[in-house]
Chains A and B, each alone.
Chain A
Amino acid sequence: MSTGSPAPHPGRNGVPPLIPGERSESRDTVPPPLPAAVLPPPSRPAEEPGPVQILLPDGTLAPGRTPPLDDARTVELYRAMVRIRLVDERMTTLQRQGRIGFYIGGTGEEAAILPPVAALRPDDWLFPCYREGGAYLLRGLPLQRFVDNLFGNARDPAKGRQMPNHIAWRERNIVSVSSPIGTQVVQAAGAARAAQILGRPDVMMTFFGEGATSSNDFHAGMTFAGVWKAPVVFVCRNNGWAISVPRDKQCAAAHIADKAAGYGMPGVRVDGNDPFAAFAASRDAVDRARRGEGPTLLEMETYRIAGHSTSDDPRAYRDEAEVELWRTRDPLSRTRRYLESRGAWSEAQEDALRKSVDEELRAATAAAETAPAPDPDSLFEDVYSRLPWHLAEQLEDARANRSDGAARCP
């Protein structure tokens, strides 16, 4: 709402003089010289090293680099990466068909997820985000249980209590996932401190995206782990996008890895689409943690090929050309080329793998889809270790509502 043009000011350039009646032009004293600036101009070294890279996008080794994994283990890792890629694709389709409510995958980020987990010992702990489905499967979670989780049925390890992809699997030390960003980072630091206190050799690995590095709990977790020299490896999947916010709007630091310096720990940039680089960097960070030398921040430079989740449409905010560029850096095709060039993988093996994953997906989906929903009474279980009086009363209410039809939606 405008009240018209402002009244003219008497001073220079429309600014009223500070002291009425005094004209600043009349002062003809020479201002004293300003002191020399004490802050150096911001700069970075001209020849900045790039990310750790061992396996190039064309499937050849970077000059002077040797693979950290033999062919047999590389094949094993490749199979697991293909498997989760196919799971992601199928589950996205199922969501589109309305058969599951939601899915969040790691397409394009497989090398930033599976090789770091392969660098852990089986007893080491994982504090995942929600995009690390491949980590669960690599650790041996039966695909059936994974798909059960997506359907939220009675056999879901999380008992149907969370959205898809929020799985906990105690049998192999994978803690529970939540949706608020970064919360697991500080929990991993605490668990690492606990291992230290108890004198156990376990290392914690936590995953998060670059968006999470803006969160309170990233800051807290890095701070605490740094001070405690706790045995934890922070794996940041810098996939370029936090839903619709690009990396350069997330943080003004040149690299996410640079943040590590502020917490007194090494930060390492890694080609996150290079399974060998991701494995070798993770192995070194895990070894360092286990030797008692403290935490490391690994920045896996990768790209979120799909939307944030099935609820997202990235065409609304990003250029397809960028996606196409990153497709040429795909972690799976470079691994396949490498293995084929060594005679360790063939077209026939590829076809057989895809066929077998397709079959296990069909079977798991069919079983999950027809499995019963969790028992309605289980709504009230596990809120506390025992059922307190108020939940016992509400359980009776719920049973009564079911029996007289009041629990059914129209």
Chain B
Amino acid sequence: MPVMNLLQAVNDALRTEMRRDPRVVVLGEDVGKFGGVFRATQGLQSEFGADRVMDTPLSESGVVGAAIGMALYGLRPVAEVQFADFIYPAFDEIVNELAKYRYRSGAQYPAPVVVRTPCGGGIRGGHYHSQSPEALFIHVPGLVVACPSNPADAKGMLASALRGEDPVLFFEPKRIYRAARGDVPAGEHVVPLGSANVARAGSAVTLVAWGAMFHEAREAADQAVQEGIDVELIDLRTLWPADVRTLEESVRKTGRLVVVHEAPRTCGFGAEIVSLATERCFTRLEAPPVRVTGYDTPFPYTLENEYLPRAPRILKALRETMRYET
């Protein structure tokens, strides 16, 4: 099995699916000749031509709006928004148009667009190259929201997104684009959306994370296990609709929950996960569920490691959760 980093896996998924399905096209800023500022689409234009891998003018609402039109007409467009921080000009096209098209047309016009966008901090990108706006889109009926943490999942989940009938926001954790390496199945590879991955089974506390923060969570879990805390580590993978069964089964078993994300805390997706767990497992809880998240500040430049919920903060939360007594 070839070893790839996450970026190469995204590229491999696009290439494999474009070979498989002539309706798949890629559009966005710098994605064509240059292959994308992160090189996720490198080599695609030379293989598939400028009609299927399109450099667009610099307008995110244009990229997403045009992708919607392409999907209505029968293509399977992959729209790249260069950084998730730049997605807001396309917010209306995503929220009011893409997410609603199937519903508001009485199911006459599905709009299966995949919006790929690099998210997250830790690359010294400051406020405009570091954000994690997943919660804004999870709140919107009609969207599927996904965020892989490793190359094999990135390939398989992107393939699923391209084969599905629903619009998908595919957040790619840019900090681990090159750092996350692993075996990736060659050729067609599909990981179904909507299923979480229990990365480590445990009985004492459930630790939920995704994307780049999954790796921080794993580091914290490894240390906690050495200290005798039997952590169950869940990589959520598809954020919405989330794999609530896996979450519920885990929290029923452990009675304790720590959720990690790098987006700001208030109304972050962690709040929803805590609510779901509380509603479903209330009588089994042995401690209040805990969120370890970015602070409710703009994403900082110099102080980004102060802001990010890195492994030591997660470990601290695990220890405190275990010490909690009613």
Contacts and interface: CB of A to CB of B under 8 A. Distances in A.
B141 to A, nearest CB: 5
Q: What does DSSP make chain B's interface, helix, strand, loop or mixed?
A: mixed
Interface string B9-29: 000000000000000010000
Interface string A278-289: 000000000000
Contacts of A166: 104
A219 interface: yes
A161 B105 CA distance: 8
B66 A224 contact: yes
A183 B96 contact: yes
Contacts of A388: 194, 241
Contacts of A76: none
B144 to A, nearest CB: 7
B65 A217 contact: yes
Interface in B95-130: 96-97, 100-110
Interface stretch (A48-56, A186-194, A338-346): A186-194
A178 B103 CA distance: 12
A194 B25 CA distance: 9
Contact of A220 (B61, B74, B106): B61
Interface stretch (B49-57, B174-182, B199-207, B223-231): B49-57
B210 to A, nearest CB: 18
A385 interface: yes
B97 A168 contact: no
The 4 closest A-B pairs by CB, nearest first: A190-B69, A190-B66, A220-B62, A186-B65
Interface in A163-222: 166, 168-170, 175-176, 178, 180, 183, 186-198, 204, 216-217, 219-221
Contacts of A161: 103-104, 106
Given A159-B106, A217-B61, A192 B69 contact: yes
B103 to A, nearest CB: 5
A193 B108 contact: no
A175 B70 contact: no
Interface in A125-147: 125, 127
A193 B107 contact: no
Interface string B261-276: 0000000000000000
Given A191-B73, A390-B244, A220 B104 contact: no
A224 B62 CA distance: 7
Task: Pick the most buried of B69, B103, B142: most chain A CB atoms within 10 A of its CB.
Answer: B69
A175 B101 CA distance: 9
Contacts of A189: 62, 65-66, 69
A150 to B, nearest CB: 15
Nearest to A206: B69
Contacts of A186: 61-62, 65-66, 69, 93
A221 B65 contact: yes
A252 B77 CA distance: 37
Interface string A359-397: 000000000000000000000011111001110000000
B75 interface: yes
Interface string B55-96: 011010110011111101111010000000000010011001
Contacts of A194: 25, 69-70, 73-75
B74 A178 contact: no
A169 B108 CA distance: 7
A383 B65 contact: no
Contact of A217 (B25, B52, B93): B93
Contacts of A156: 106
Contact of A187 (B66, B104, B144, B166): B66
B296 interface: no
14 contacts: A159-B106, A175-B72, A176-B105, A176-B109, A178-B96, A189-B69, A217-B61, A224-B57, A382-B103, A382-B106, A383-B102, A384-B241, A388-B194, A389-B241
B164 interface: yes
Contacts of A191: 69-70, 72-73
Nearest to B142: A383
A161 B194 CA distance: 27
A256 to B, nearest CB: 20
B109 A193 contact: no
B47 interface: no
A159 B102 CA distance: 11
B107 A382 contact: yes
A217 B101 CA distance: 17
B249 interface: no
A175 B105 contact: yes
Nearest to A216: B61
Contacts of A183: 65, 92-93, 96-97
